[in-house]
Structures are given as structure tokens and as C-alpha cells.
Structure 1
Amino acid sequence: MGKAVEMVELWRGGLLESTHRGHAVLCDEAGQIVQAWGDPDRIIFPRSSCKMIQALPLVESGAADAFGLSEAHLALACASHQGAALHVNMARDWLKDLGLGEPDLRCGSHEPYDRVERDRLICDHEGPCQLHNNCSGKHSGFLTFVKHQKAGPEYVELDHPLQKAIRAATEDVTGETAAGYGIDGCSAPNFAMSIAGLARGMAKFASSDGTGARGRAMQRLTRAMAAHPELVAGEGRACTELMRAMGGRVSIKTGAEAVFVAIMPEKKLGLALKIEDGNVRASEAALVGILSQLGVLDAAHPMAQKRLPAPQINCRGFTTGELRLSEGFV
């Protein structure tokens, strides 16, 4: 098994303060590894970076069309959103159109990441509900499949028809048998895979010619993410800001514990990235470094510069340090 490579460094006062190591794989349309850093066979949990794979049964089954889902709905199905009013209201209306409500979700609740919505809840003496969960869009998509298939309500159980369909789709697009599973923060199973497998799956999305139910689903989901970056994450978030910076030419998605993927249709390439210590600042910087090297992201764009060199600003507004790519990485 290969070792993680040094990818991102934090410098302060002219001295190296911290180093982040990781793995990354770039695959082409044939599923072949074009470039790799670290260990391509490293088994990881993709966490939320694989939401477009988890959304495949929603589209392939005909559920999305049966319930008239828009491109925006599909983007929200792939989202790890901020819980802003935009996201909460859309998820609420989606469930209402299904004849369902917030209690039908199985994702649990947490305080919204969006400050405006968080402050509104505090001022109105309200607690957060499941609609504020960053995965409520994904779960709304899950419930759409459930309603269409007339399946049972406990859709996050491993033996539920939905999770069986997701596992089958996951194994098909990654080209490998799931290495196991863990339970994600939203209570849904998350199937383990190699970094190469995740990159291979993203390359299939990137190179889809729209043939067959799966090919059409891949194209629709990729387009939806790129067309609605504000739904995929939210204001201030890397997914939203970097997709905007790339003009919708690339779809990217983060996952917990510093996982990132990128779908590049123009180049028919898929990227998967994992930082070993789970540090998000490092995954964002490494992603910017790779996408810039590939020529799909302008390294001088303000949203790229925000993550690399990502100036470290203290409480008095002084620049105290910066992130840098490790020597030899990209």
C-alpha cells in the first residue's frame, strides 16, 4: 500500500507550521488512471462527495420525471447545503408536493450552517428541524424514489430497496465491489470504495454520452449541479464559489473528512481527492491546485485565491501566514 503524499502546507513567520498529506486520482473516460498521488487503492468513505451516485436511482427509476422534478430539484438532491431559507423552503415544498412532510425524513436535525437562518430561529425561539439538515435535499430525493416505488418508509435501512439500488449503482460506476459500509451523519449507509474507484465513477459521469437510462441520469445530474451551484452548497462555500468561478464547466462536490470530487465533461476526466487528517482547508487547497494545473480553474480567480494561498488573517486583520502546495505536488 502506497503512502500519502505531502500536498498542502501552512507557513507562518517564514517557517513551516503544518503539513497535510493525502491521496488523489485522476481517471479518464476508459476508467484508466491518468495521474495519481499517494495510494490509488486506499479505501475511503466518500461521504457526501458521492451524492450524485446516490441520486442515480431517483432519475433512472423514472421517479424524478413522474413527480415533475426540475433541474433545481436534482441539484438539491446532490447537495450538502447550508440550511438557508432557500434550501429549507425548497425541501419543504418538495415534500409537500409528494404528499409528505418533515416527519417523513430520516436524516435528523441540526442547527443550520447559514447564519441568517440560524439567527432567525434564535430570534423566533424556534429549534432546527430536519429540513435544516444539510442532507435534506438528498433525503427528499430518497423519498421521491420511495413514493414512486411504493416502498417502505424506513429508507435508510441497508436492506431497503432504495439502498440496494444505490449499492448496485455504486458498484457499477466505480467498477468494484463495495469494501464495506458505514453510517453517514444523515443516517444513510455510505459504501466504502477505493479512491481510484471514486475517480473512475466521476470519469463515467464526465464522459457520459447520454445513452440509456444511466447515461441520461448522469448527464442530468452533472448539468444540474453545474447550473445551480447555490443549491449544491451555499454562499461562502467552496463547491458553490468554485463552480461559479469555472462557469459551470466543472461539477465539484465535497464530502466530510476532507474528500472532494470533480467531474470535468469537456476533458472527460474524473477526480477524487482525500486528505488523510480530514482537514477541509487542505482538501480545498489541493483541489484548487489540481484543477488549476488542469487548466479548468484560473488560479488567479478570487475564489481560487481564497483557498490557495488562503491568507491566514488574525482577529486584528493582520495576515499571519498562508497555505502553499507542497513541493513536487502538481
Structure 2
Amino acid sequence: MDEILVEEYRGSLVENVHRGHICGVGEGGAVRYEVGDAASLTYMRSSGKPVQAIPAIMQGVDIAYALKEKEIAVMTGSHRAESFHVEALETLMSKIGIQEEQLVCLPAYPLGENAKNQLIAEGKPKRRIYHNCSGKHLGILSLCKHKGYSTDDYTEPDHPVQQQIVKVLSYLSEVPVDEIVIGTDGCGCPVYAIPLKSMAYVYLKLTCPELIEDAAIRETVRKISGWMSRNPEMVAGTDRICSTLLLDDNIFAKGGAKGVYCFGLKREKLGFAIKITDGSEEEWPLVVAAILEQIGYARQETIASLYRLAPVAIMNDNNRIVGRNQSVFKLRHT
């Protein structure tokens, strides 16, 4: 039931198509906009990181370890291991009292090409904190240390912290715990699948914490969303869509692997979730820009910044325009 979201033209011929689902919800979780199937069961992947940080902050690890905003923001991020990310991660480890070897995610080179190439050129090895999910792992481990939980099995679904995370997700999404599908993410942590419309509802609440009834969760979300918005570079990195969108103080956003992207709009009180079926991420800026245009979003500078990340024109190696990327979906207003 997915639909074509983006077509890639080379000359006059459609060379590639990217299909997927889009859902936009309003207050109460009512579906307002839809492309494809709003009920499509989808893994949140890294778009779930802000939720996964909630139990730690709700129980005061930020105060217990005197964490700075940037150190907390990187807990929610999919960083590119740029120098400022690595600095925050190393400080975070030191404050919490965690050794790098305790992270389940294996040593890796940064996802950021510049950071990766520099390390290789300098002959430096892979590290666990270069993994884009290392901030999330340190956030979970911070709660383990704070509460005296085991750090050896912190990625197991039955670990106390993981149990707290799934309960918070259930509360925010209004999906019963026993209906949340649990798999294993690329980094080794549990990953959660819920209907796309429920994912959009989570992002509406993350964007508009005043819609959350539970006072403790509401104030924690307010803190986390504020830290992310004030430190957008820590959530992704240079010229990345999440960091770009977070520069707009009306938008809260976070992407995940395999084509999952979520964002919310504060003034409009809308939450959106996107799943590109082939798992591609390159089309995110184009799809988000098209959504904003179709709902009449007022801030044209935000839309323009998305088109700078994913230009409509396709250039070849000789800097000649040889094709175009074109969003072709139409939001159905329900």
C-alpha cells in the first residue's frame, strides 16, 4: 500500500523511484494527512533516541553527573563523530565513570566522511565512541550507574532501563506494551516498531510537551527538546537534516535508519512520520520540504535550507545538470 514519493529523472527518463508512507497527526492523534498507509508497522530506529533518553533524565542523571546541555543532546543524537561530538562523548564517559570498552557497539569509523578520512589519513584506529549510537548507549549506561543496575547486559530487553524505555514509549504512543514489536537495532540496543500514525503522535508530544498529561514525563520532554533545539549540531552534525531543521525553533525532528524520519510543528500542533520503503535517506530533505510546502508552512527559509541539502537538480561528475529529483506525492487531507 506504499505510494511513490520521489522520482529521479535522468534526462526525460525516470531512472529511480522511491516509495513509502507518510502520516501527519493532530491533537489526540487523529490522522490529518496521509500518503500510503498510516497504520504501517514501522521500526522507529534512531528516531526513537529522544524517547530512549527520557528515563535517564527523568531520574536525574543530568544533575547527578553535572552534565552540560551538549553532553545530554549527544545522548539523543546520531552523531557523525566530528571533533565536537568526540569531545562531548569523552567528557560524558569521564563524568559517568564508564570505560569505552563497556559500550556494546563495536569500534567503527565515523559516519561523517570528513572525520573518517582524517582519521584514516592520520593512521588512527576505529573507536566505539565513533559509532553514531554511542551517545544513546552512554545515556542508558548513565542511568545504570546512577541506579546501581548492571552494566553488562544493558542492551537486553529485560534489563530494567530497557523496560522503563518501552513503558515510556507505550505511554507516549498509546500503543500497549504487548503490541510494540521489539527487534534489535544495528548498535545492539532494542528497537521498537509501532504504527506510523503512533510514531507521528509521539513526535507531536515531543514537539508540544504541553499535550503530555504525566507531569514528570512532560517536564523531562520539555528539557530534552530544549537541549536538542539549542544544540542542533550535537543531534546529527554539519549539513545534516536533523541539525538543519532544529535551527527552526518551530520544528522538532529526528531521523532513523532505513528511511524513517519524524518531525513535529509547534504552532501548527502537527506530528509527522515518514517511512521510505527502500530504506533510502537521501530523499528526506526533499520529502520534508514537499510536506511543508503542501501544508502552507510559512517559513520559506526552512524549506530553502532543505532544498540546499537535497537539490532538485542532478549533477554529473562534470557539474552538468543531467536530471532532476522530483517529489510526486500529494498529501491526502483526512
Which TM-score bucket, shorter chain as reference?
over 0.9
User: In 2, Cα distance between the equivalents of 1:241 and 1:300?
Assistant: 8
Contact 2:35 2:330 survives alignment (8 Å): no
- Aligned CA distance change for structure 1 residues 329 and 270 (closer, same or farther; 3 Å): closer
Which residue in 1 is equivalent to 2:284?
283
The answer to whether 1:319 aligns with 2:318 is: no
Q: 2:207·2:252 contact (CA, 8 Å) conserved in 1? A: no
Task: State the alpha-carbon separation in 2 of the partners of residues 265 and 300 from structure 1.
Answer: 14
1:307 CA drift (Å)? 4.6
The worse-fitting range, judged by mean Cα deviation, of 301-310 and 10-19 is 301-310
CA distance in 2, matches of 1:141, 1:37: 35
Displacement after TM superposition at 1:296 (Å): 5.5
Q: Structure 1 residues 308, 297: closer, same or farther in 2, change over 3 A? A: farther
Report the more deviating stretch, 301-310 or 41-50.
301-310
Task: Confirm or deny: 8 A CA contact 2:252 2:264 kept in the other structure.
Answer: yes
Of 197, 210, 215, which residue of structure 2 is paired with 1:212?
215
The CA deviation at 1:293 is 2.9
Match of 1:186 in 2: 187
Residues 310, 110 of structure 1: alpha-carbon distance in 2 compared, 3 angstrom cutoff = farther
Corresponding residue for residue 202 of structure 1: 203
Q: Secondary structure at the match of 1:16?
A: strand
| Structure 2 match to 1:268 | 269
Question: Is the 8 Å Cα contact of residues 107 and 127 (structure 2) preserved in structure 1?
Answer: yes
Per the alignment, residue 305 of structure 1 pairs with: 307
Equivalent residues of 2:261, 2:274 under 8 A apart? yes
Give the distance between the partners of 1:329 and 1:321, measured in 2 at CA. Answer: 25
Check whether the contact 1:258–1:279 (CA below 8 A) recurs between aligned residues.
Answer: yes
Moved more, 279-288 or 312-321: 279-288
Native 8 Å contact 1:44 1:195 kept in 2: yes
User: Partners of 1:321 and 1:224 in 2: how far apart?
Assistant: 40
TM-score (structure 1 length as normaliser)? 0.93
CA distance in 2, matches of 1:40, 1:102: 40
Q: Distance in 1 between matches of 2:304 and 2:204?
A: 27
Counterpart AA for 1:218: V
Secondary structure of the 2:106 match is coil
Deviations 1:70-124 (A, max 9, x none): 3222211110010111111210111101122211212222111233432332233
- Confirm or deny that 1:82 pairs with 2:85: no
Q: Show CA shifts across 1:47-72 (max 9, x none).
A: 00111111111111222222222322
For residue 56 of structure 1, what is the aligned residue in structure 2? 54
Q: Which residue of 2 aligns with 1:253?
A: 254
Aligned residue number for residue 234 of structure 2: 231
Distance 2:312 2:325 in 1: 6
The one-character-per-residue Cα deviations of 1:234-267 (angstroms, maximum 9, x if unpaired) are 11211122333x2x32121111111000022222
Give the share of equivalent positions with the same residue, in percent.
28
Task: Pick one of 232, 240, 243 that aligns with 1:240.
Answer: 243
How far apart are the structure 2 equivalents of 1:40 and 1:117? Answer: 38
Q: In structure 2, what is the Cα distance between the partners aligned to 1:13 and 1:319?
A: 9
The alpha-carbon distance between structure 1 residues 28 and 65, as it changes in their structure 2 partners (threshold 3 A), is farther
> Offset at 1:186?
0.8
1:40 maps to what in 2? Answer: 38
What amino acid does structure 2 have at the position aligned with 1:236? Answer: D
> Which 5+ residue runs of structure 1 have no aligned equivalent?
none
- Distance in 2 of aligned mates of 1:100 and 1:300: 39
Per the TM alignment, residue 133 of structure 1 is displaced from its structure 2 partner at its CA by 0.6
Aligned residues: 326
Aligned to 1:114: 112
Instruction: Please give the alpha-carbon distance, in whole angstroms, between the structure 2 residues aligned to 1:288 and 1:256.
Output: 19
Structure 1, 155-164 or 67-76: larger mean CA deviation: 67-76
The TM-score with structure 2 as length reference comes to 0.92
RMSD: 1.9
SS in 1 for 2:23: strand
Amino acid at match of 1:321: G
Letter in structure 2 aligned against 1:155: Y
